[in-house]
Amino acid sequence: MTYTLSEHRYVVCGLGLTGQACVRFLLEKDAYVKAFDTREHLALGEHTTLDAVEVLLGLPKASFFENVDTLVLSPGVSPNEPAVQEAKRCGLEIIGDVELFARLTKTPCIGITGSNGKTTVTLLTTHILKSLGKRTVAAGNVGKPVLETLDAELDVIVLELSSFQLEMTSSLVLQGATLLNLSEDHLDRHGSLEGYGNAKQRIFAHCASAVVWRDHEYSVPEYPVGEVINYGLSASNEGFGVIDDNITYQGQPLISFSEIPLAGEHNVLNVMAALGLCETLGVDLNEAVNSVKTFESAPHRCVELGNFNGIRWIDDSKATNVGATIAAIQGIAPRLSGKLHLIAGGDAKGADLSPLRPVLEEHVASVFALGKDADKIVHIFPKTQYCKSMRDAVIAAKNTAHHNDVVMLSPACASIDMFNNYIERAEVFKAAVMEGQHL
């Protein structure tokens, strides 16, 4: 059945970038739309799309939901918010922008989710497909807002999907999908690892082929799927494996680790996942691996800032949860000739940091902790020094590290307690590193 926008009347909840994109799209399609944001004070800027619609700031009354039938919820707003629950009681269907997209798109899609690595896999997959001549765009949690892809002439859309987006999505059909991994994150929103995992698993609900990390139980689909392509760091005659520092497919070498422009074993897994997703589209893997060699890493994800006086500095600011930091440490440490020093801390968002302990004990010489939950890191790892600022942490690490050592910012926490976002955190780190070379 064709979904027709003109047959529905919409209210958009949340007026960040995604919410404004939804309002703009619905207006362009001549659909009825109004909007609200529960924040009473919000700088909307001048000459925005919102000038053309009714906008309410603050908590709406039930009467606000009269004569509308669908609430489009921005991913940053919890479906448990009282205003959203009130809309539900008024009989509105609650969906997200990805669900609206799913009902309208005619373009084949592949989807990527997971606690860590999804941006790298999304951008790498997009890069491979573009290199092979396919009209491709990355969208969703990275790249374009999904609704902006609907009028484009494309061969495939590569979707990075967060748990927030997936929990409001029910009819998205995917040619290929992967849940890369799962570790504690966003527990303040989902309540438990199980709830978080259930949201992520929705990526497999209408999936033709699943790409599965065979050594990670949470990657296995809980929904019935068609083909399964597995991958892992062990030797295997099925799917992707590893033999003598080479990625293999069906037991045959495809590409050596030395040809991959991404550091760490966790990125070997990311390359396998991207190749697996391309395989679901019938891509020639021998051609695809040539494109891997020309890929440039996503910003703030295990990116080396430089080698100063024999000490390497790595920016992994995008590691906003424990699993991401564990992956970075385990990916970098085994191939070091010196010691690894870690700068970590921030807002743990209610997550348990104790799973870091065995990894820190095995691979890390010292930790420099800052931010709201720095004390939790001090508690689990005695070789931790508390620092008041990023600059203090960088100076302390510089004074501790020796030739051939690595200092890595991989916080295991969100940045919002001290910075606007992980990008600003990375910029402050880089500035402190550069300043430190002159101290």
- Of the pLDDT bands very low, low, confident and very high (cuts 50, 70, 90), residue 17 is confident
Does residue 256 have a pLDDT over 60? yes
Per-residue pLDDT at 348: 93
Torsion of CA 167, 168, 172, 176, to 10 degrees: -30
Per-residue pLDDT at 384: 98
Does residue 22 have a pLDDT over 70? yes
Q: Which residues of 179-210 are buried (b: 16+ CB within 10 A; e: fewer)?
A: bbbbbbbbbebbeebeebbebbbbbbbbbebb
Provide the terminal-to-terminal Cα distance of the chain, rounded to the nearest Å.
67
Per-residue pLDDT at 184: 63
Cα–Cα distance between 157 and 126 in angstroms, integer? Answer: 8
Contact by Cβ (8 Å): 203, 141: no
pLDDT in tens, 324-380: 899 899 988 987 899 999 999 999 988 899 999 999 999 999 999 999 999 999 999
At residue 115, φ and ψ (nearest 5 deg) are: -70, -35
Cα–Cα distance between 49 and 27 in angstroms, integer? Answer: 8
Active site residue 216: no
Q: Measuring CA to CA, which residue among 127, 169, 152 is closest to residue 298?
A: 127
- Of the pLDDT bands very low, low, confident and very high (cuts 50, 70, 90), residue 286 is very high
Residue with tokens 């970038």: 17
Per-residue pLDDT at 183: 79
Per-residue pLDDT at 249: 97
The conformational region for residue 311 under phi > 0 = left, psi -120 to 50 = alpha, else beta, is beta
Does residue 171 have a pLDDT over 90? yes
pLDDT in tens, 135-166: 999 999 898 999 999 999 999 999 999 998 99
Q: Which of 34, 118, 127, 398 is catalytic?
A: 118
- Provide the 3-class DSSP secondary structure of residue 271: helix
- Of the pLDDT bands very low, low, confident and very high (cuts 50, 70, 90), residue 404 is very high
Strand partners, 34: 11
Residue with tokens 């004390």: 375
Does residue 439 have a pLDDT over 60? no
Per-residue pLDDT at 215: 94
Instruction: Please provide the average confidence, as pLDDT, over all residues in the chain.
Output: 93
**Full set of structural domains in the chain with CATH:** 7-97 (3.40.50.720), 105-292 (3.40.1190.10), 303-436 (3.90.190.20)
Per-residue pLDDT at 51: 81
Active site residue 141: yes
Cα–Cα separations (whole angstroms), residue 341 to 168, 279, 431: 40, 38, 18
Burial class (CB in 10 A: 0-12, 13-18, 19+), 345: buried
Strands of the 303-308 sheet, one edge to the other: 303-308, 311-315, 406-409, 340-344, 364-369, 384-386
DSSP 66: T
pLDDT in tens, 107-127: 999 999 998 889 999 999 999
Which tokens belong to 223? Answer: 């929904």
pLDDT in tens, 32-84: 999 999 988 877 666 567 788 999 999 999 999 999 999 999 988 999 999 99
Q: Which of 34, 127, 186, 349 is catalytic?
A: 186
Active site residue 402: no
Q: Which of 34, 116, 127, 141 is catalytic?
A: 141
Percent of the chain with pLDDT over 90: 80
Cα–Cα distance between 411 and 422 in angstroms, integer? Answer: 10
Burial class (CB in 10 A: 0-12, 13-18, 19+), 217: exposed
Cα–Cα distance between 246 and 253 in angstroms, integer? Answer: 6
